[in-house]
Structure 1
Amino acid sequence: MSKIGNKITQLRKEKGWSQSELAKQIKASREAIGKYERDEAIPSVETAKNIADVFDVSLDYLVGDVLKPSFDKRMVKRLQDMELLSERDKDHLFALLDAFLRDAKTKKAYAP
């Protein structure tokens, strides 16, 4: 299980940000970021959401047991938009998606 502090540290380093830069982005103190990263303190829900927003990951990824942010905000937005489609349009979209995924898996299986 990855603690929230580890995820914050990892995401911050991937962006090349210092603790001070992250603090500035979410309007918090550098000391607070340090405590979050060392798991000495847990951010409030609002602060955790702000952290997730600046890293473009879901809050679920940040605080959950998910190993990677497989559903980033763009994916979640698309899934939400798909709910607005008619059943017929969803069927067409799923058929297209299924064909694309099948082809991608086949290519990967036979790649050198």
Structure 2
Amino acid sequence: MTEKAAEVPCIPNDWRETLAQRLKELREAKGYSQMEVSKKLGIAKATYANWEQARAVPSLEQAPILAHFFGVSADYLLGISSNHTSERLAARMRDLPESSQKIVMALVDEILSMK
């Protein structure tokens, strides 16, 4: 009996450009300049600017920090996921204490049962 391999999400070939575009869109949506983001993240402005221009990419350590800062998943930043709304919601849920997560889930279940 063979086990079925877990489905692994595919990273698109143009992930660098997707990452750069999404970083810029997310930054602009928050109304921040590149300088403001770089200060908040504790990195050089040139480093952040290079990420937005696809000249460089964040390290594995920096990617989750960026995702958390912008309230999205690393999958969204890399183009693996394209659903920004659900990614933002999932990120916000992870920030809640477990007791609050249970309340939110109960509320969602109640709303869905009204259909």
> What TM-score, normalized by structure 2, do the two folds share?
0.65
Structure 2 residue aligned with 1:74: 92
Structure 1 residue aligned with 2:73: 58
One of 23, 26, 35 as aligned partner of 1:8: 23
Question: Are 1:21 and 2:39 counterparts?
Answer: no
Per residue, is there more helix in 1 or in 2?
A: 1
- The SS at the match of 1:71 is helix
Moved more, 68-77 or 9-18: 68-77
Partner amino acid for 1:74?
R
CA distance in 2, matches of 1:44, 1:10: 20
Deviation for aligned residue 1:28: 0.8
Structure 2 residue aligned with 1:99: 113
The Cα offsets for residues 11-57 of structure 1, whole Å up to 9 and x where unpaired, read as 00011111111101111111011110011111101111111111111
Deviation for aligned residue 1:71: 2.5
Structure 2 residue aligned with 1:105: none
- Indicate conservation of the 8 Å contact 1:26/1:47, yes or no: no
What are structure 2's unaligned runs of at least 5 residues? 1-11
Structure 1 residue aligned with 2:58: 43
Stretches of 4+ aligned residues off by more than 4 angstroms: 92-95
Alpha-carbon RMSD? 2.9
Amino-acid identity (%)? 28
Pair member with larger Rg:
1
Structure 2 residue aligned with 1:106: none
